A and B are shown apart, each in its own frame.
Chain A
Amino acid sequence: MTRDWDQELSAYIDGELDEAARKAVEKWLATDPAYARRYARMRRIGAMLHETMETPAFQRELRARLEAEAAVPSHGFWRRATAVAAVVTLLAATAVWWLAGPGAPAPTSPQAPGWVEAEGPAVPRETPAERDLPGGGEADEAPAIEAPPRLAVSGSVTGAHPIAVLVDLDTGEQRVHRPGDEVAPGVTLESVTRDGAVLTTAGGERFELAKAPASTVAPLDIAGVWEGVLTAVGEPVRAVFEQDGVGVTAEFSAVGIGETIGFEGALTGNVLQMEVDTEMGETLLRVEGVFSTNQTAFEGEMIVAATSGDGQWETLEKAGLELSRMDRDAGQAHERLNQALRAFEALTGALERYAREHGGAFPAALGDLAPDWLAEEDLAALDAAAELDYAAGRSLWDPRQEAENGSRPDFADILPHRPMEERLFAYEEAVAAHFGGAFPAPGRLLTVRYGDAPFEHRVSTAMRTEYVALDGEEHSGAQLEAMAVTEVASARHLALTVLMFAQEHEGHAPAGWFSVYPGYLQDPLTLASPFEEGTDPAGVSFELVFPAINLDDDALLWEMLAQARPGEAARLAEAYEEGVAPLRQFIPIIVGPDHGAHRVVAFADGHVRTLPPEEFNEMAAPFLY
């Protein structure tokens, strides 16, 4: 790899390197004295710049200006817009009209309809231009008036079925309205214009609302596949939306015809407006409509318009368009997930084998696994399909860092999912205490995310695997799925732990979990089913079946199996005598907690099954005391 390490040095000083590069630089610094000298000299530059800072004498003046500013009543949104424009030059000034804005009569408090009593900033009469500048002690002389709720139009569709989407600028809440709708008590949407909407009050006053700047409205997330129908022609259509901020592109295809049309446009609030120039250049195909706020439905029109070159467009024809969001193709997603799980298991298996051969140490980089522990192609394939974040050797609790900073690292900086970090950290502390302050192994983590898989995988210190749902919603489908997979992974790990113990104890299974922890089971969190997390302080939710049996002594098991499932016992006995299948692999050794719906059972060969109640009763219950 050719990398300019001197350049990285500068980024290193600024804390702009990722973990891997930072480590590389530190390695260089430790081994190359010339590099370390250059580092010291570059670092000194910053120190010198700071040494030459002077203390300016504008505090009093600044304070006076701030006080003067503070005395001026807030100009609400308009001020905000101009201030944003002044500071962040990117935001172009956008004309936002208030209900009581220029051109509309300002309602006065007594006659005002109820909704204007809502809290809102005072709106001064002066134009924003007059307010533009850092004027010292200038005070606002305009009498403040009560302002109505700060509504603006976040999008509108004109035409045969006009629609306006109004956004409450304070709460960001958006609602779709049609003419005649009461948008607030006593206030009716009269009409929708291309640039806004007209409201009337019960008292007959008319107000114009203009469009809100895009920045005030959180964009809907509409990216993905939508399917529906063009109502006029009954044509099934499929649309794939892609979104970049308010910018939207879409590929529309008429399912029956198979022809695809690419649209470009924007999503303003709930309103989508897109168009495509046809090859003629004189006709235009538009799609306009409104997404439901929950982002599952779209209702609008596809319009063909033509111009004779005078800038006026005439609608030639149009069709209603109704779309609904397709759920992710469940089958496909599942398949991808399964592939991911298989790849992940190969990877963690390779890690574990590597660690075993290296006295518990993990490789410095995943690349070190190939080709002895993991085929290079596997690694490459995994790398292509997933985002691998391998952090061997990075302890969650780095004593050096603590000594240096006098504080523990903020784990939120290290990992995105705090509850998990806290649990790991608590675990590490517990283990550290157990070992008199020394870790059996520093915290190690492998995080793998697979494209659109609904969860990611993590391996912690003791090769414990955790599956974390990525959609962030508690107990959503992905979360539940992640919990279920984690439970299975834990059961499998516990089964292997038991077998390891048995191997070293002449076939005797451990008498209880205390026999395997911490000698065989390094991570006690494995004992807690994610479904029962927090319910039991001891955190043990997996039952160890036959706690005192000798796994090599088959007599008892034979007997029990013969009683429970005579047919199978006979068949297995036959196979066993032929040396085909050792009987004990069919014996359940770990049983997960009872969720009602299913139970996880690990068998003595390490394989794990999730059994529905009836199967559980048949296969495992007979073995339970």
Chain B
Amino acid sequence: MTEGNGRLPSPRRRDAAARFAAWCADLERPLHAYLTRLVHSREDAEDLAQDALVRVFRLWRDGGLRKEGSPRALVFGAAHNLAVDLLRRRARPVPGDAMAPAPSASSGDPLLQQEIGKALEQLPENHRRALLLREYGGLRYAEIARVMTASEGAVKVWIHRARRRLAELLDRDGQYVGDPGGKTNHDS
């Protein structure tokens, strides 16, 4: 995953919408994947992804983007805030299969999708969110820390624990193998 999609083009053009759409084309899949994992609904994820992009578009168009900082981090930060708002508004999701999105036709590997979803649900919320911001958002630890209002050190630990736990829960092919006796043995 590349770090950000580079700088946004200048907004002072007639075709601002087209230019922005082109810029965010590469973001759509990871952003949607990220939101789906957070809100457990493909449709909500689509809405939230659009909302986040539209907000950043406005900011960009109105010249409110700071020079420093990656626009990609801004998009994922906005998406994160919107998702957390949504989760607060609706009843707390039930973890597990019931809430995991059903595989869709466009999914690369429906089985893998399900298995990973199962494993992700085993992770503490912060660990999961931090890892997903890193993997899908490509955000730096410092950026994740800002989005999650946590320290960079905490983010580092969360991501590490998330990866280690997933490596225990999933075998080489992505099969969910659960937690054999709860014993950590990540060396086999």
Identify the B interface with A (CB < 8 A). Answer: 1, 16-18, 20-21, 25, 28-30, 32-33, 36, 42, 45-46, 49-51, 53-59, 61-64, 74, 77-78, 81, 104, 106-109, 112-113, 116, 131-132, 134-136, 140-141, 156-157, 159-160, 163-164, 166-167, 170, 172, 174, 186-187
Contacts and interface: CB of A to CB of B under 8 A. Distances in A.
A89 B149 CA distance: 11
B58 A79 contact: yes
A86 B36 CA distance: 21
B51 A134 contact: yes
Interface in A44-80: 44-46, 48-59, 61-63, 65-67, 69-70, 74-76, 79-80
A50 B46 contact: no
Contact of A66 (B54, B104, B136, B160): B54
A597 interface: no
Contacts, number: 165
A50 B62 contact: no
B170 A48 contact: yes
Contacts of B109: 51-52
Nearest to A75: B62
Given A6-B160, A10-B164, A65-B54, A54 B21 contact: no
A38 B186 contact: yes
A120 to B, nearest CB: 12
6 contacts: A38-B187, A42-B163, A51-B112, A57-B46, A69-B57, A75-B62
B21 A10 contact: no
Nearest to A45: B166
B112 A42 contact: no
A424 B113 CA distance: 50
Given A48-B170, A50-B1, A56 B45 contact: yes
A354 B55 CA distance: 58
B103 to A, nearest CB: 9
A53 B30 contact: yes
Contact of A76 (B33, B62, B159): B62
Contact of B159 (A14, A41, A49, A54): A14
Given A48-B112, A54-B107, A57-B46, A69 B28 contact: no
Given A53-B33, A54-B107, A63-B21, A134 B59 contact: no
B29 A55 contact: yes
Contacts of B55: 83, 86-87, 134
Contacts of B159: 10-11, 14
B61 A65 contact: no
A59 B50 CA distance: 9
Contacts of B132: 49
A84 interface: yes
Interface string A555-570: 0000000000000000
A587 to B, nearest CB: 55
Contacts of B134: 14
A16 B116 contact: no
Contact of A45 (B17, B163, B187): B163
Nearest to A68: B17
A53 B160 contact: no
B136 A56 contact: no
Nearest to B31: A56
B157 A7 contact: yes
Nearest to B28: A56
Nearest to B110: A52
A52 B33 contact: yes
Contact of B112 (A52, A65, A84): A52
Nearest to B112: A52
B59 A87 contact: yes
A34 interface: yes
Contacts of A34: 187
B46 A70 contact: no
A30 interface: no
A83 B59 contact: yes
A538 interface: no
B172 A62 contact: no
Contacts of B167: 38, 41-42, 44-45
A88 interface: yes
A37 interface: yes
A69 B54 contact: yes
A55 B157 CA distance: 31
